């Protein structure tokens, strides 16, 4: 059986409260054995840590999501540092910049992002990045804070920016976007990039596969994503699973 790791999902969200255990068991039957779960705000940190204590297959990343910057406070940043001192986390995340909404306060996002990059540098932790319409700004700050380990979640930008992230030492997240007919350019990119720079992700409960029912996504979807990426690259699903899972294991120093 293939062994797969979901490098980005939100199994801590309330929509999984009724059947989280069943979903994890279904995943394990398909070989999806580990789950990286990034936080989005301060309120989610303790419940996420509790969940990961309960399920040994789940690993927490702690951070402040850029889409909720207006809700984050200076005290949240201070508390993030304190909780990192007290509790093991495998990464700082989900952090980044999201300039999709042109009315967003870009400087406020940049400030929070830089504060968390400084923490990643201080604690020598990888980052899990959310980036929309802000790749140039993110890459510049990764260089500024000497960040050389992490994942660009749901990567969907250009080959040039992919190569810049790879040169910086980061991995690129491959998810359900490759199942969409209008993602031809992205499929071509993932067809060409070296597999040692790619990881699989579901982003559950978001980012459902193309033609999936209009319901929540689950980590089960990375089994299909693995098959689709293998078809694109004319490689076996087992090869995709082995190398992408090893990439995640190496990045976060997970037990083999």
Could you read off the pLDDT of 145-203 as tens digits, one per residue? 999 999 999 999 999 999 999 999 999 999 999 999 999 999 999 999 999 999 999 99
Give the integer Cα–Cα distance in Å for 16 and 23: 8
Confidence band of 88 (pLDDT split at 50, 70, 90): confident
Confidence band of 61 (pLDDT split at 50, 70, 90): very high
Confidence band of 256 (pLDDT split at 50, 70, 90): confident
Confidence band of 102 (pLDDT split at 50, 70, 90): confident
CA 162, distance to chain mean position in Å, is 15
Confidence band of 63 (pLDDT split at 50, 70, 90): very high
**pLDDT at 219 (0 to 100):** 98
Please give the biggest Cα pair distance in the chain. Answer: 50
Q: Read off the tokens for 90.
A: 């495998």
CA nearest neighbour of 38 among 204, 207, 182, 233: 204
CATH numbers and ranges of domains, the chain? 4-252 (3.20.20.140)
One-character DSSP codes across 73-109: -HHHHHHHHHHHHHS--SEEEEEEEE--STTS-HHHH
Q: Is the pLDDT of residue 16 over 80?
A: yes
């Amino acid at each position: 059986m293939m062994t797969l790791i979901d490098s980005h999902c939100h199994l801590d969200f309330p929509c999984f409260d009724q059947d989280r255990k069943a979903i994890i068991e279904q995943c394990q039957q398909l070989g999806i054995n580990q789950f990286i779960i990034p936080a989005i705000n301060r309120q989610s940190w303790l419940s996420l840590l509790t969940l990961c204590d309960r399920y040994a297959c789940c690993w927490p990343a702690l951070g402040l999501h850029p889409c909720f910057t207006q809700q984050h406070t200076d005290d949240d940043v201070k508390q993030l540092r304190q909780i990192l001192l007290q509790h093991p986390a495998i990464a700082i995340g989900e952090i980044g910049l999201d300039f999709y909404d042109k009315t967003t306060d870009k400087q406020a996002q940049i400030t929070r992002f830089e504060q968390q990059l400084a923490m990643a540098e201080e604690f020598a932790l990888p980052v899990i990045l959310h980036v929309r319409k802000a790749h140039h700004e993110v890459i510049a700050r990764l260089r500024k804070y000497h960040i050389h380990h992490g994942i660009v979640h749901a990567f969907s930008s250009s080959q040039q920016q992919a190569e810049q992230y790879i040169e910086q030492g980061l991995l690129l997240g491959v998810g359900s976007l490759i199942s969409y007919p209008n993602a031809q350019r992205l499929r071509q990119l993932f067809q060409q990039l070296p597999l040692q720079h790619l990881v699989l992700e579901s982003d559950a409960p978001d980012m459902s596969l193309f033609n999936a029912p209009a319901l929540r996504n689950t980590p089960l979807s990375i089994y299909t994503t693995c098959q689709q990426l293998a078809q694109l690259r004319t490689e076996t699903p087992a090869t995709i699973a082995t190398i992408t899972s090893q990439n995640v294991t190496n990045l976060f120093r997970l037990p083999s």
